[in-house]
Amino acid sequence: MRPAADMKDFRRDLVGLLPKLRRFAMTLTRDATDADDLVQEACERAITRSHLWNGEGRLESWVYAMTRNLWVDEVRKRKVRGGGSMAEIFDQDEPSIEASGERAVYANQLQKMILSMPEGLASAFLLVNIEGHSYRETAEILGIPIGTVMSRLSTARLRLAAMLSEDAERRA
């Protein structure tokens, strides 16, 4: 059992992690509502299993991996319920992002563009390019071989470069 003070620190760290965790969840689900549900489930699981967290390494890596596992389970369940393939479930027509109030339309468009990339690319890009995880850490979090991480990263970067060109042409 984790001491109360440690538990308090753990909960505080988890709250601090929420914006990043939600962003990671968005790359998995590509849907704001699904992402919120997934984050909640991941946090519940992280708290009930906090005694397993040894405090070494990055807390986010541990929670991310848990989140990814939960999402894989959820996709499997949906597949069973809906009879569709994994690819169909991942391959949504358009990412769902709620643009709130005064949120810039452009930022919203950028997010949709990012999340419209084929499944797996955004997660790998986020973990390495934005959050500075090593290839090995990224592979462990996503449960894929390092070679796949490398391949997804280069593909994501080239796709993003193409989006940048399209975006520049559209805005010209």
Partner 1 sequence: MQQTKGLALEIRLSAYIDGELPEVERSELDALLSRDDNARALLERLRAGGTFGNKAFEDFLHDPVPLALVRQIKQGPGITPRFERVATANLPRRNTRIWPRLAAASLVLLFLGGASGFILGSRIDTPVLAPEAAEGPWIQEIADYHRIYARQKQHLVEVPASQAAEIESWLTSSVGVAFKIPDLSRRGLTFEGARLLVANGKPVGQLVYRDSDSNIFAICFLKKGSGEQPDQFSETIRGDLSLVSWEKENASFVVVGPSSDPALQDIAHAVAAVI
**At residue 55, what are phi and psi to the nearest 5 degrees?**
80, 0
Helices (H), 49-101: 59-82, 86-90
Judged by CB under 8 A, does residue 125 bind partner 1? yes
Q: Can you tell me which of 47, 57, 73, 143 binds partner 1, judged by CB under 8 A?
A: 47
Please state at what angle helix 32-48 crosses helix 59-82, rounded to 10 degrees.
120
Of 54-62, 73-81, 83-91, 103-111, which segment contacts partner 1 by CB under 8 A?
103-111
Judged by CB under 8 A, does residue 116 bind partner 1? no
On whether the CB atoms of residues 75 and 90 are closer than 8 A, the answer is: yes
Whose tokens are 């559209």? That residue is 170
In the complex, which residues of this chain contact partner 1 (CB under 8 A)?
8, 11-16, 18-20, 22-23, 26, 32, 36-37, 39-40, 43, 47, 100, 104, 107, 110-111, 113-114, 125-126, 128-130, 134-135, 146, 150-151, 153-164, 167
